[in-house]
C-alpha cells in the first residue's frame, strides 16, 4: 500500500487535473448546445456519464433505508437543476463569466459556515467582483444578459445544495454508489425534456461524440481524480485549489471558444478568486481530510 501511495501522482496535481478537465468539458458543452439545445445537452451528458458510472460503481439496490433513498432523490434533483441552469447560462454568457458567477454559491456556503469577519469581507469583495464581471452598473440595461446572470446564480445556489447533499449521501453510501444513483435520478428528471427539445438530433454522430467527451471531461475523469486526491489532501488546500476554477474556465473559453473577457471582467474574476482563497484558507480541524468541495458536476 505504501509503495502504491508513493508512486501515485501528488494530490495537488490530481485536483488541478480535475479542475482543468471540468472546465474544458464545460467549454466543449458550449459547442454542443447549438446542436441539441440546453436540455438536450444536459440529458445527453448525464445519460452518457451515467452509463460509465454504472459500469465503474456497480451500485447495489439492497441494504439502504428510506432515508438513504430520500437523500439520493434530493441530491439527484440538485444535480439536475445545477446542470440545467448552468448550461442555460453557458448558452448566454462566456464560460469564464458563467463559472465566476456560479462560484458565489459555494463561496457563500463556506462563509456562512465559518462566521469569520474576514470571510464576511471576502463575500463583499466577491459581490463586487460579480458586479464587475456581469456588467451590472457600467453597461446599458439593453446590453446586459440578466437571464444568463440569473441562471448562473441559480446554478450557484444549486451547487451549494449539491455540496451539502453530497456529504449526506456520501455518509450513507460507499464510494461512488450514492453519486451514481443520484445521476440516475437526475437523468430521469432531465431526459424527457431533453428528448422533447432535441428529438432525433440526440442520435447524431457529432452530438454523441461531443456528449461522450463532455461526460468524460465533466463527470467521470474529475470525479475519479478527486476521489483519489481527497483521501490525501486537507480540505483547506483543496478549497484553495478549487478557487482557480473561474480562471481555468476563462482560459478554456479563450482557447476553445475564442471568448475574450474585458479588463473589468478580469478584475471582477480576480476579486472572486481572491475571496474564495481567503474563505478556503481558514484553519481546519486536525485530520480534516476528504471534506472538500466537489467539482462542478
Query: Which pLDDT band holds residue 109 (cuts at 50, 70, 90)?
Result: confident
Is 145 within a domain? Answer: yes
The count of domains in the chain is 1
Does any domain span residue 290? no
Rounded to 5 degrees, φ, ψ at 161 are -65, -40
CB 249 within 8 A of CB 152: no
| Domain assignment of residue 294, yes or no | no
- Residue 81, in any domain of the structure: yes
Is 293 inside any structural domain? no
The answer to whether residue 285 sits within a structural domain is no
pLDDT of 30 above 90? yes
Q: Which domain holds residue 13?
A: 9-280
Task: Report the 3 state secondary structure along 26-89.
Answer: HHHHHHHHHHHHHHHHHHHHHHHHHHHHHHHHCCCCCCCCHHHHHHHHHHHHHHHHHHHHHHHH
Domain for residue 124, yes or no? yes
In a domain, 291, yes or no: no
Model confidence pLDDT, tens digit, residues 54-68: 998 888 888 889 999
pLDDT (tens digit per residue) in 71-94: 999 999 999 999 999 999 999 999
Task: Please tell me whether residue 93 adopts helix, strand or coil conformation.
Answer: coil
Amino acid at each position: 500500500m505504501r509503495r502504491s501511495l508513493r508512486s501515485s501522482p501528488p494530490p495537488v496535481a490530481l485536483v488541478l487535473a480535475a479542475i482543468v478537465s471540468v472546465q474544458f468539458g464545460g467549454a466543449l458543452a458550449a459547442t454542443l448546445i447549438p446542436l441539441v439545445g440546453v436540455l438536450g445537452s444536459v440529458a445527453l451528458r448525464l445519460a452518457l456519464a451515467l452509463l460509465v458510472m454504472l459500469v465503474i460503481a456497480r451500485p447495489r439496490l439492497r441494504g439502504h433505508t428510506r432515508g438513504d433513498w430520500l437523500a439520493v432523490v434530493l441530491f439527484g434533483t440538485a444535480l439536475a437543476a445545477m446542470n440545467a441552469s448552468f448550461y442555460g447560462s453557458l448558452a448566454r454568457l462566456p464560460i469564464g463569466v458563467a463559472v465566476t458567477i456560479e462560484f458565489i454559491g459555494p463561496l457563500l456556503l463556506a462563509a456562512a459556515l465559518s462566521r469569520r469577519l474576514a470571510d464576511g469581507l471576502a463575500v463583499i469583495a466577491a459581490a463586487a467582483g460579480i458586479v464587475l464581471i456581469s456588467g451590472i452598473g457600467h453597461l446599458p440595461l439593453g446590453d446586459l444578459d440578466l437571464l444568463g446572470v440569473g441562471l448562473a446564480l441559480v446554478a450557484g445556489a444549486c451547487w451549494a445544495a449539491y455540496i451539502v447533499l453530497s456529504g449526506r449521501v456520501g455518509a450513507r453510501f460507499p464510494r461512488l454508489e450514492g453519486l451514481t444513483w443520484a445521476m440516475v435520478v437526475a437523468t430521469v428528471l432531465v431526459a424527457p425534456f431533453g428528448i422533447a427539445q432535441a428529438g432525433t438530433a440526440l442520435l447524431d454522430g457529432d452530438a454523441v461524440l461531443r456528449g461522450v467527451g463532455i461526460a468524460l471531461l465533466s463527470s467521470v475523469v474529475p470525479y475519479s481524480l478527486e476521489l483519489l486526491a481527497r483521501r490525501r489532501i486537507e480540505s483547506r488546500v483543496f478549497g484553495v485549489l478549487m478557487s482557480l476554477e473561474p480562471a481555468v474556465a476563462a482560459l478554456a473559453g479563450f482557447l476553445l471558444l475564442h471568448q475574450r473577457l474585458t479588463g473589468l471582467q478580469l478584475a471582477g474574476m480576480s476579486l472572486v478568486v481572491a475571496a474564495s482563497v481567503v474563505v478556503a484558507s481558514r484553519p481546519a480541524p486536525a485530520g480534516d481530510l476528504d471534506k472538500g468541495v466537489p467539482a462542478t458536476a
